[in-house]
Copies of this chain bind each other. A is one copy, B any other.
Amino acid sequence: MATGRTHRPATRSRGIPEATVARLPLYLRALTALSERSVPTVSSEELAAAAGVNSAKLRKDFSYLGSYGTRGVGYDVEYLVYQISRELGLTQDWPVVIVGIGNLGAALANYGGFASRGFRVAALIDADPAMAGKPVAGIPVQHSDDLEKIIEDNGVSIGVIATPAGAAQPVCDRLVAAGVTSILNFAPTVLSVPDGVDVRKVDLSIELQILAFHEQRKAGEEAAAAADGAGPVVAGRSDSADKGPDGDVPAVMPA
């Protein structure tokens, strides 16, 4: 995840904790898989295992949405898919623009996970005139001069920034000025935005650095253990969800 946060004020959205909101997409994916296999109902235990979380946590998460389960039976898969989709706002169409069509921007444009969740790539924007008109993922790239017009014409409220670091803040400012209120930032920069605009950050380098930290620690422990005459650790197989080198921490965050 991106990185570095502060607990949000008292504005808890409609009583649903942020931690829960972040898990809903995870549940939704697991439920969608069950739905495709025509599984009618699922218990909290089963679904929790599929999503890689604690079953009590899952039940508490669902309790924030309402009482959608049946005691002694479990949850109705289709009904839950609908409720979560509605809660996340996925029942409506979200036009999205991607700014910065380099390798990453092109990869995002081609990413299939967007369309399947109600997200529609409305436009691809790049500052390089040579890119203009060139189709990427079947969509012609438009020049950034037209950014404002594109945003307004398509009613875009979500923007994805995949530009180099230096261009990110100016692009962000223009997106916000044009009406975008949610930004997913892949550029390695801290963006400054007005109140009311949400920013989530994904930083690939930071993720690797966190892994490196734990990798180094493991190497150190192993060496220490070897020095003690004891062998390396490593035990039984476990679901990665309930251990993790990092417990919680976001490499993707609001910022």
**Count of A interface residues, CB-CB < 8 Å:** 107
Query: Does residue A147 face the partner (Cβ distance < 8 Å to B)?
Result: no
Interface pair B206/A26, CB less than 8 Å apart: yes
Tell me the interface secondary structure of chain A in the complex: mixed
In angstroms, Cα B3 to Cα A106, docked, is 24
Query: Does residue A243 face the partner (Cβ distance < 8 Å to B)?
Result: yes
> Which chain B residues border A13 with CB–CB below 8 Å?
213-214, 217, 245
Contacts known (A6-B241, A25-B206, A194-B234); A182 close to B246, Cβ less than 8 A: no
Pick from B23, B110, B116, B210: contact of A200, CB below 8 A. B210
Contacts known (A204-B108, A237-B194, A250-B251); A212 close to B244, Cβ less than 8 A: no
Query: Does residue A79 face the partner (Cβ distance < 8 Å to B)?
Result: no
Contacts known (A117-B209, A196-B218, A216-B89); A204 close to B202, Cβ less than 8 A: yes
Chain B residue, CB-CB nearest to A255 = B241
Interface pair B218/A250, CB less than 8 Å apart: no
Chain B residue, CB-CB nearest to A218 = B181
> Which chain B residues border A181 with CB–CB below 8 Å?
215, 218
Shortest beta-carbon distance, A47 to chain B, in Å? 12
A–B Cβ pairs within 8 angstroms, 6 of them: A3-B26, A5-B244, A5-B247, A5-B248, A111-B204, A198-B244
In the complex, the 5 A-B pairs of residues with the closest C-beta atoms, listed nearest first: A1-B252, A1-B1, A244-B254, A89-B216, A8-B247
